[in-house]
Amino acid sequence: MALDGGASMQPELRAIDAYNAQEKLVEWVRGYGVTTIHTGQQPSALISGQTMIAKAWGNNVDEATIVPLAMVAVTIGDGGNAGQGKSPGTRAKQAAMLRAELIKAQENSKKAEPAKDLKSEIMMKVIKREIPLLITALRAQDILTAIRIAKEFNLRIVLDGVSDAHMVLGEIKASGFPVIVHPTMARPGGETENMSLENAARIRAAGIQVALQSGYEGYVPKTRIILFEAAMAAANQLLPREAMAMITIDAARILGIDKRVGSLEKGKDADLAMYDGDPFEFTTHCVGTVINGQVVSEVVR
């Protein structure tokens, strides 16, 4: 989803108000076997807004939505800075502003009649551990800042991006926080200059709960397909079954929806993807996608 650059912290922006169930990119990824999507405000502001979880099918957002408020998206590092001359302009200011907002939410939650504005209500949910922060942090120093702030305020967080994770695996492991790895095929440079195709394998080998994400390049525009990201990870020190788990059951556990999706079990949603070969082979085709027991995409040959 697009970024609103009107302010550095906008946790009140709801993903469900921006989600278009008829978007062609949703249809596109569904054609590759994607049945469930975690999406939200673009991670390019200190607090850019909320995320949601939806099925990759439905006539409108109400039909598609599984979880209307999944997480609140935070960005620490270059991506969280505002424009020239605006605040925050440094990492230290980012951390200070985030702490100030969390302290405000702490104090507000103690009041007999807490503030009712939209921002306060969402940040109180964060402080009360009702919803986690999805913190995009690519460099090692930013990953450590995210962990430090989460411990200070006893927050639930999911680390996102973590290009430098291999430099601080011990700290991430000790924190107990799960990780969603940057797209395997992301372009190295800037904050991702230290990224590695083996990042997912190294994180999993360290015993850290991890899932893979896809990515979006606005200048093309195109959406990378998560299946291809997993295939690249499988070719770089992961077993195929491990890579497949990272885009199915492991991802569902991190998102807290594993009782409903992520594996084929009695009582779960009938979501299936069918292929005419090894799903990780580039020449393989998804010949059918089933969501909630209904065929929503198929290839007739």
Query: Domain segments of the chain: what residues?
Result: 15-263
- What is the 8-class DSSP label of residue 9? B
Q: Which superfamily does 15-263 belong to?
A: Metal-dependent hydrolases (3.20.20.140)
Closest CA to 178 of 256, 124, 243: 256
pLDDT of residue 267: 96
CA separation for the pair 272, 264 (Å, rounded): 8
Q: How many residues does the chain have?
A: 301
Report whether 163 contacts 141 (CB < 8 A).
no
Closest CA to 282 of 223, 218, 235, 212: 235
Measured CA distances, 103 to 77, 99, 106, 110 (Å): 21, 6, 5, 11
pLDDT of residue 223: 58
pLDDT of residue 247: 97
Q: What are phi and psi of 140, to 5 degrees?
A: -55, -45
pLDDT of residue 3: 65
pLDDT of residue 222: 58
CA separation for the pair 27, 36 (Å, rounded): 12
pLDDT of residue 7: 86
pLDDT of residue 81: 93
CA separation for the pair 266, 154 (Å, rounded): 36
Q: Which helix (H) or strand (E) holds 55?
A: strand 47-55
Q: pLDDT tens per residue, the chain (301 residues)? A: 666 667 899 999 999 999 999 999 899 899 999 999 999 988 889 999 999 999 999 999 999 999 999 999 999 999 999 877 789 999 999 999 999 999 999 999 999 998 889 999 999 999 999 999 999 999 999 999 999 999 999 999 999 999 999 999 999 999 999 999 988 778 888 999 999 999 999 999 999 999 999 876 665 555 568 998 899 999 999 999 999 999 999 999 999 999 999 999 999 999 999 999 999 998 999 999 999 999 999 886 5
